[in-house]
Structure 1
């Protein structure tokens, strides 16, 4: 805990500020300039909302790393639930964006009917329901209680603790890593196979951005999934090495904050890989008449000029495909 208290509050604060500003900008751009015209616009909006859920929980966890849990059981349940809902919904929306690209490129005829804003809203609703349902154990079992003269916030499973621990860990590993990995691997293998035979620069740019979003997600969250699985093996007595056990405690804290950094990165990816997003951001800052020094700091200049058309992100079939 002393290890966590020495550096986690600073990192949490950094992630909070950058993630909050970045994802709010994405939401503003989508509403003001894109107006949710395509299925992918809907998914990007929901992905930004998922990242914001992570961000909004960080002040609570930051305080908890340097002190006891002082917010009581209700907030213990709510904040833990928000954290897990953000985790599940984030990976589910990245998965849906990969399926969206698969339909647009591999199943182009089918995509004419399937890739609509209405279907995007319906599938988004389903994703939120699944994410909320998968996170219900946090609402049920999380509690604030005194443990060794220290008030903590963690699950208190009834009955067979081992069974519930096994279930909760495998749920995160399967829903948050294994299933999305299988689906996205299939989608991108088929996309690459199709693009090899039929080159299209616009489609290539759209695929590249979503592919980077996917790779970044797995890079930042796979270590966390591996560590919690190893901790499960330790809990079940499969791993009995004391030194390894201590290393896993440190690894858990490091990989968790690594995963949280992910919520800052999607807006950065859009900015560097999406020309239209940069264009809309320039227009937004110009309308707000922000000071020039701020715009130079964020890479956006007040002197706005028309840029060549490119993709901020994947568009609907009629818009881009």
Structure 2
């Protein structure tokens, strides 16, 4: 997509003097490579830990486990592309057209699928807490796998333009990796920006807002010891999502207005490029926080992490004693249609 990691905007040489964007490029060289490297490191370690815990202890026995696993895979796809973008922004694209297409495509599939699975997590919590009895039938492993396949299909299909149109080319002694669209490129750029804003923000945000509003109302009505903790988790998910993604989408929208030449001021265009770098980097950090949001704030995950380190005290010996323990009895879903069902579902949703 034109709006994702289009560093040629930062390095534009086709703008008339005196609208030179050399300062934007120098800022990107200094700021972005170390940040992308840190996000790659922490995102890789954190999400690999999530995958390990899910496979070793949870065994993917519920819809929630399936969504969490897929969310971690989405984030891993996303962070996999960051070393390439870090080198690109520091110098230029040196990896050829094939890798330009592949890395751009992998990045965007991870981008879309990650946001979609966060949305599904909201729906999962909504079913677990608002419709606790119905959730016993609806929140099954089979439905979790089916909806996950649908989400991956949508993400793969939505990312196809970047696979088709991305290319590596040299201009003014610099090699770029970006999309070259046929015909009216401005129209394609605007459509790309609208796609990211609609699929990547408006639809997920609307669904999340609906789900969490209903959840909060339900928790306020029911007398449950876990209510305060559940509400705090809900607000944490919403606030983090809004803080890390809305600024980026707002800047993308403003970039569309620049492409349409609604705004033609050079100073505004340069400030927007700086803002795009900053907000895009902020959005990247979110993939590192998903393990914290969905796991490290939960009691079960902390217990599993402690167990993992106890059984793997000697990593240099290739985790000789890391046998796969039996799943705890507490993981077995309750079949009771009483208040204990609500307790179990709220605990599982957290």
TM-score by length of 1: 0.88
How far does residue 213 in structure 1 lie from its aligned partner after superposition? 3.1
Whether the aligned pair in 2 keeps the contact of 1:39 and 1:316 (CA below 8 Å) is no
C-alpha displacement at 1:57, in angstroms? Answer: 0.4
Residues 61-110 of structure 1: CA deviation (Å, up to 9, x unaligned): 01101111011111111111111111111111111111111112222232
- For 1:97 and 1:223, the matched residues in 2 are separated by 22
Aligned partners of 1:239 and 1:101: how far apart in 2? Answer: 42
Cα distance in 1, alignment partners of residues 92 and 268 from structure 2: 26
- In the aligned structure 2, how far is the partner of 1:22 from the partner of 1:207? 25
Q: Of 179, 194, 199, which residue of structure 1 is paired with 2:218?
A: 194
Residues 1:135 and 2:175 are matched in the alignment = no
How many pairs align? 301
State the partner residue of 1:76: 100
Q: Give the structure 1 partner of residue 180 of structure 2.
A: 156
Runs of 4+, deviation exceeding 6 Å: none
Measured in 2, the distance between the counterparts of 1:233 and 1:267 equals: 35
Q: Secondary structure at the match of 2:81?
A: helix
Query: Structure 1 CA distance, aligned partners of 2:175 and 2:333?
Result: 51
How far, CA to CA, are the matches of 1:146 and 1:155 in structure 2?
13
Partners in 2 of 1:211 and 1:99 — Cα distance?
Answer: 15
Deviation at 1:202, TM superposition (A): 4.1
Distance 1:199 1:134 in 2: 43
Tell me which structure has the larger Cα radius of gyration.
Answer: 2
Is 1:26 matched up with 2:50? yes
The Cα shift of 1:275 comes to: 1.4
Contact 2:220 2:227 in 1 (8 A): no
User: How large is the RMSD of aligned CA atoms in angstroms?
Assistant: 2.1
* Structure 2 residue runs without a partner (length 5+): 1-24, 316-328, 336-340, 346-350
Q: Following the alignment from structure 2 to structure 1, what is the Cα–Cα distance between the partners of residues 162 and 204?
A: 22
- 2:12 aligns to what? none
2:132 match: 108
Q: Provide the C-alpha distance between the structure 1 equivalents of 2:227 and 2:55, rounded to a whole number of angstroms.
A: 23
TM-score by length of 2: 0.81
More deviation, 268-277/66-75 = 268-277
| Structure 1 unaligned spans of 5+ | 292-308
Give the structure 2 partner of residue 172 of structure 1: 196
